[in-house]
């Protein structure tokens, strides 16, 4: 680990595209239906333009993003694949969706009307998905909206519905009774759309059992190595490794403090390693006095306040020298482990990963 890779002083983010493809293959093999890849937010911060072609090569043919501009940026990389937008169809977007062959996920009656009007203008029948709310109360057609669609069947005339989808509230908590309740409600909704595909489970939902199967699973986080089964061993391969070189080592005497507000004070003669990573890099300020890093196999505590561009670690008792790298994320310290230290989840750790890191991709 202590080879001087990359520019001196630069933190290095290594992303294993082969591990992402392997994770997709494992999930795809675990059920009978199709398996999509959720690549919103730049593939959870890891670089959608790199990730998407690798997943396509692995066999993935359905991709989900959150917003139309994300879909437009990816369209030419995967011309044959279904590319769907989770956040729905804004009033002025129907033309762009249709022109670029992007699948809207209609989640309100006005969106259905807008898509239908666009198809009528074009004299075409283009696919859309329908998003049904079964408990998130975020996006999705309500029970009332579904009753309107039942009563007024022509509202969907010309709309080729490929899938009906819903989203789980607590898939990461298998014991939560809301899961079974949503499965029952979703089954009832799907019965209203015979012959139409269904899309139910996210990453964690794929581990809840056969009652959560559908014709199109929508994993995101698990592809990127986040544990879809919190509390049990992670079945996915790790994908990211973040290392940063020590810029300087400060010698502190007992009673001396480090960083803003002096929130950590040396109790013994201490060697403090300064790294050029801070909260502007998504190395959250809430990690102050909490996180750890690794010097080879040795655990190193973060001491003091994380500042915008710098963080300090107590390397007392190790042989660490300026230029040596500490592992901030990687095989010793997963995104999930860092998330616990930061008081967040692995998703936020990944999507916050900084733009200043030097990035290196492998395994494509």
Ligand X SMILES: *Cc1c(COP(=O)(O)O)cnc(C)c1O
Q: Which residues in this chain contact ligand X in the complex, by CB under 6 A? A: 38, 40, 86, 167, 202-204, 218-222
Cβ-based nearer residue to ligand X, 166 or 312: 166
Cβ-based nearer residue to ligand X, 200 or 264: 200
Cβ-based nearer residue to ligand X, 161 or 274: 161
CA distance linking residue 71 with residue 100, whole number of Å: 9
Compute the least distance from the CB of residue 44 to ligand X, in Å. 7
Strand ranges for the chain from DSSP E: 12-16, 34-35, 37-38, 62-65, 82-85, 103-106, 127-131, 160-165, 197-199, 216-217, 240-252, 257-258, 264-265, 270-275, 292-295, 298-301, 311-314, 325-329, 358-362
> C-alpha 354: how far from its chain's center?
15
Query: How many C-beta atoms lie closer than 10 Å to residue 121's C-beta?
Result: 11
Q: Is residue 260 flagged as an active site residue?
A: yes
Active-site position among 40, 44, 56, 224: 40
Half-sphere exposure of 364 (CA within 13 A, CB side): 14
3 state SS of 61: coil
Q: Is residue 224 flagged as an active site residue?
A: no
Compute the least distance from the CB of residue 171 to ligand X, in Å. 7
Compute the least distance from the CB of residue 199 to ligand X, in Å. 8
- Say if CB 176 and CB 125 are below 8 A apart: no
Compute the least distance from the CB of residue 228 to ligand X, in Å. 7
CA distance linking residue 195 with residue 287, whole number of Å: 50
Cβ-based nearer residue to ligand X, 38 or 74: 38
Question: What is the DSSP annotation of 205-233?
Answer: GGGS-GGG--SEE---GGGGT--SSTTS-
Compute the least distance from the CB of residue 222 to ligand X, in Å. 6
Query: Which residue in 2, 6, 24, 7 sits closest to 363, CA to CA?
Result: 24
Residue nearest to ligand X (CB): 220
Active-site position among 44, 50, 260, 319: 260
Cβ-based nearer residue to ligand X, 198 or 204: 204
- The catalytic site residues sit at 40, 260
């Amino acid at each position: 680990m202590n080879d001087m890779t990359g520019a001196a002083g630069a933190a290095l983010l290594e992303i294993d595209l082969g591990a992402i493809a392997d994770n997709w293959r494992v999930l795809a093999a675990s059920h009978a239906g199709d398996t999509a890849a959720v690549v919103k937010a730049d593939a959870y911060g890891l670089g959608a333009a790199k990730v998407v072609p690798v997943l396509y090569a692995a066999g993935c043919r359905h991709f989900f993003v959150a917003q139309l501009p994300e879909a437009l940026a990816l369209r030419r990389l995967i011309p044959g694949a279904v590319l769907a937008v989770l956040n729905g169809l804004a009033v002025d977007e129907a033309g762009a969706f249709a022109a670029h062959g992007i699948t809207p996920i209609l989640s309100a009656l006005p969106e259905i009307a807008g898509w239908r009007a666009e198809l009528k203008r074009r004299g075409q029948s283009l696919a859309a998905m329908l998003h049904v709310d079964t408990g998130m109360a975020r996006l999705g057609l309500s029970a009332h909206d579904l009753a309107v669609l039942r009563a007024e069947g022509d509202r969907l005339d010309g709309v080729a519905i490929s899938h009906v989808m819903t989203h789980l509230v607590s898939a990461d908590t298998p014991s939560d009774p809301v899961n079974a309740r949503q499965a029952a409600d979703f089954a009832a909704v799907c019965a209203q759309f015979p012959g139409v595909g269904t899309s139910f489970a996210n990453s964690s939902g794929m581990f809840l059992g056969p009652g959560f199967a559908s014709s199109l699973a929508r994993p995101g986080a698990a592809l990127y190595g986040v544990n879809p089964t919190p509390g049990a061993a992670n079945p996915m391969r790790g994908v990211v490794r973040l290392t940063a070189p020590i810029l300087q080592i400060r010698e502190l005497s007992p009673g001396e403090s480090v960083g803003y507000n002096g929130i950590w004070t040396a109790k013994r003669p201490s060697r403090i390693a300064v790294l050029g990573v801070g909260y502007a890099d998504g190395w959250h300020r809430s990690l102050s006095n909490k996180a750890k890093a690794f010097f080879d196999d040795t655990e190193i505590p973060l001491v003091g306040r994380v500042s915008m561009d710098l963080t300090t670690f107590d390397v007392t008792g190790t042989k660490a020298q300026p230029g040596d790298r500490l592992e901030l994320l990687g095989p010793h310290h997963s995104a999930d482990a860092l998330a616990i230290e930061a008081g967040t989840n692995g998703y936020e750790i990944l999507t916050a990963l900084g733009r200043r890191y030097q990035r290196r991709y492998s395994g494509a």
